[in-house]
Every structure is written in C-alpha cells, then in structure tokens.
C-alpha cells in the first residue's frame, strides 16, 4: 500500500457520531485532512462537531498548525504541493509547489519556516510561507515521513522509514546532529512534552523506540500493536495508533509498562493532544471518524464523523482564532 496515495478498500465502515461526554480545552479546534474526500474538516473539540470543511485537492495527508493557531499547512502528495490555510477565515490563501512527494510537515515555533518531508528526494524541504517558495533542503535518510520540531525550534527530527532510522537536524545550519538506528520502518516521530525524549513509531517492527533528545542514545523500545503509525505523550502516558489492530496502545512514559489498549476505530492514524493535555484525538482512516480519549480515565468519550479517509498526519490541533 502506498503511503502517498492512501487508496484502500473499505469494508464495514462505522459512521455513527457519538457526542463527547468530556470537555476539551476551551477554543481547541482540530484540522483533519481527509484524503479520499479531498478536504480539510475543521472540528470544534468542545462540542465534537464539524464546524466547516475546506476543499483541498491532491490527496491531502499531512497537517501542521502554527503555534499561534493562525495558519494551517497541508501536504498534498498527488499535487506535489502544500496548501496554506488561513484559520480565521477558513479558506486556502496559498499554494506552494514542492515537487517530489510531500508527506510529513511541521512548522517552526516562530511561524516560519515550514518543514516538509519529501518522500522521493529523501530530503527535508525548507519552505518560506510568506514568499511561497522552497528556499532550501536538508539531507535525511531514505523516504522521510514524520517530522517534529523541538519547542525552541533548534532541532528538527525526521522519521526516515526506509533507512530504519531517525535524523536529528540542526535547524539553523541543516547539519545532521545524529542519525539514530531505531526499529523497522519508522513512520511517525514526536517529542515528549518536556522535550527530553523522542518517540519513533516503527510500522514494520510493531514497536516504539525511545531516544534521548540530547544525547541521541536509544533508551529502549516498547512493543505495541500492529503497524504503529504515530504517537503522542500527555499526562505521563504515551498513546500510539496501531493501524492494523484498529487500536490505540497506551503505555506509562516513565516505567514503559503497557497500561491498556483502546479500540478507537478502524485503521487509526494521526494522533494529537488538546492544549490542556486532558484529551487525545485520533483520526480513524477507515471509519471516517475522529475519536476523543480521556487521558486520565483512559476511556473513549466521543466520536465525530468527518470526510472519507481521515489521516491528520501531524500536529492537527490549534486554538480557535475566534477566541484569541
């Protein structure tokens, strides 16, 4: 299955939307890329309802919301481009040609530049969103997918799937700080909330590798479900989407003890945490839903139906610009 095209047979889709019983941090919105519907759904996480949708062609997959919540950046692998979304108006205000195969995407905490993993050129593209151009590229391993940026913006990490490694890159110089061997076929990558650890989800190894963000030493690995795609940590717990298991595996960040497995929906992919850390949100590709998990009780407290083929690969939650 091509991670760029994302076309697969559907069977037994569950489309019922269940109202959430928990309350998200006031003003949080989710921006969910739906690859087959070719749209971006904007979801109010307080009410778990779709506020609006934005048409975006080119099989949208990756998503990154700026730290101030004013801009969204969407990777479109089949269009070989990214779209720029103004979150206040809910409209596409620009398109930037990247060439190659743009997939994972992240934004510097200052709002620029935008970093785009190019699956085909085995590089990380540096994009100036104001100028609307690619200004440079940094070398990665083969087939980079997930991208994460440290809170201070100094370090970028890429998951280099076909090199079985993650790359630590100096954002100022583009130099590789380290290439770290992890498990088989790492796809997603994420920093811990305190920035001390990096999690690499190994889709070919059914595991998550934990790496020290400063020393780049491998601290260990945790076995999870089948075909883990992405991970996020909050409230001392790590949540991992298991594509083939249609589950989210949860383990303790300190002890690495496996805590539970949650059935969130069919073929979960993108995962992100609300601004107060209480709720975790999961895009279920084959169910066409966004699930809501209470990080304290480890219960699924809601679903909302979105467009066909939600992937939401990246940091897809941002503050509602209307409340800022």
- pTM exceeds cut of 0.75: yes
Per-residue pLDDT band at 322 (split at 50, 70, 90): confident
Residue 64 is classified by DSSP as E
In tens, the pLDDT along 276-319 reads 999 999 999 999 999 999 999 999 999 999 999 999 999 999 99
**Is the pLDDT assigned to residue 217 strictly greater than 60?**
yes
Average pLDDT over residues 41-55: 98
The strand order across the sheet containing 197-202 reads 186-191, 197-202, 207-212, 218-223
In tens, the pLDDT along 260-277 reads 999 999 999 999 999 999
Average pLDDT over residues 28-43: 98
Average pLDDT over residues 6-32: 53
Per-residue pLDDT band at 323 (split at 50, 70, 90): confident
Q: E strands of 77-193, at which residues?
A: 81-86, 91-97, 102-107, 114-118, 123-128, 133-139, 144-149, 155-160, 165-170, 176-181, 186-191
Q: What is the CA radius of gyration of the chain?
A: 17
The DSSP bridge partners found for residue 52 are: 42
Give the chain's mean pLDDT: 94
**Is the pLDDT assigned to residue 252 strictly greater than 50?**
yes
Average pLDDT over residues 155-184: 99
Average pLDDT over residues 61-89: 98
pLDDT in the model for residue 27: 84
pLDDT in the model for residue 215: 99
The number of residues making up the chain comes to 324
pLDDT in the model for residue 70: 96
Domain spanning 28-323: CATH 2.130.10.10: yes
pLDDT in the model for residue 14: 33
**Is the pLDDT assigned to residue 4 strictly greater than 70?**
no
CA dist 320 and 69 (Å) reads 7
Lowest mean pLDDT among 5-14, 64-73, 169-178, 250-259: 5-14
Q: Is 323 helix (H, G, I), strand (E, B) or coil?
A: helix
pLDDT in the model for residue 24: 58
- Residues near 198 by beta carbon (within 8 Å), at least 6 away in sequence: 148, 157, 166, 189, 190, 191, 192, 210, 211, 212, 213
CA dist 160 and 212 (Å) reads 17
pLDDT in the model for residue 26: 62
Retrieve residue 58's tokens. Answer: 């080119």
**Is the pLDDT assigned to residue 7 strictly greater than 60?**
no
């Amino acid at each position: 299955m091509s991670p760029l095209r994302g076309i697969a047979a559907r069977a037994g889709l569950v489309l019922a939307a269940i109202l959430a019983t928990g309350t998200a941090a006031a003003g949080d919105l989710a921006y969910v890329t739906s690859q087959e519907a070719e749209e971006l759904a904007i979801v109010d996480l307080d009410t778990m309802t779709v506020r609006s949708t934005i048409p975006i062609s080119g099989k949208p997959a990756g998503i990154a919301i700026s730290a101030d919540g004013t801009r969204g950046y969407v990777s479109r692998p089949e269009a070989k481009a990214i779209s720029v979304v103004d979150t206040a108006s809910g409209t596409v205000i620009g398109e930037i040609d990247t060439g190659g195969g743009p997939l994972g995407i992240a934004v510097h905490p200052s709002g620029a530049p935008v970093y785009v993993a190019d699956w085909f050129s085995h590089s990380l593209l540096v994009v100036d969103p104001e100028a609307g151009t690619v200004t440079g590229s940094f070398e990665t391993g083969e087939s980079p997918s997930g991208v994460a940026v440290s809170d201070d913006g100094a370090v970028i990490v890429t998951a280099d799937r076909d090199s079985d490694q993650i790359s630590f890159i100096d954002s100022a110089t583009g130099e590789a700080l380290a290439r770290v061997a992890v498990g088989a076929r790492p796809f997603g990558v994420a920093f811990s909330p305190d920035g001390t650890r990096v999690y690499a989800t190994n889709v070919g190894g059914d595991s998550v590798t934990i790496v020290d963000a400063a020393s780049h030493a491998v601290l260990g690995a945790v076995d999870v479900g089948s075909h883990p795609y992405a991970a996020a940590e909050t409230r001392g717990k790590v949540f991992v989407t298991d594509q083939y298991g249609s589950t989210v595996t949860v383990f303790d960040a300190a002890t690495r003890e496996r805590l539970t497995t949650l059935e969130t929906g069919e073929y979960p992919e993108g995962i992100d945490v609300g601004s107060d850390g209480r709720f975790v949100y999961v895009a279920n590709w084959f169910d066409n839903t966004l699930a809501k998990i209470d990080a304290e009780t480890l219960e699924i407290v809601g679903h909302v139906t979105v467009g066909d083929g939600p992937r939401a690969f990246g940091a897809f939650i941002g503050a509602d610009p209307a409340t800022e």
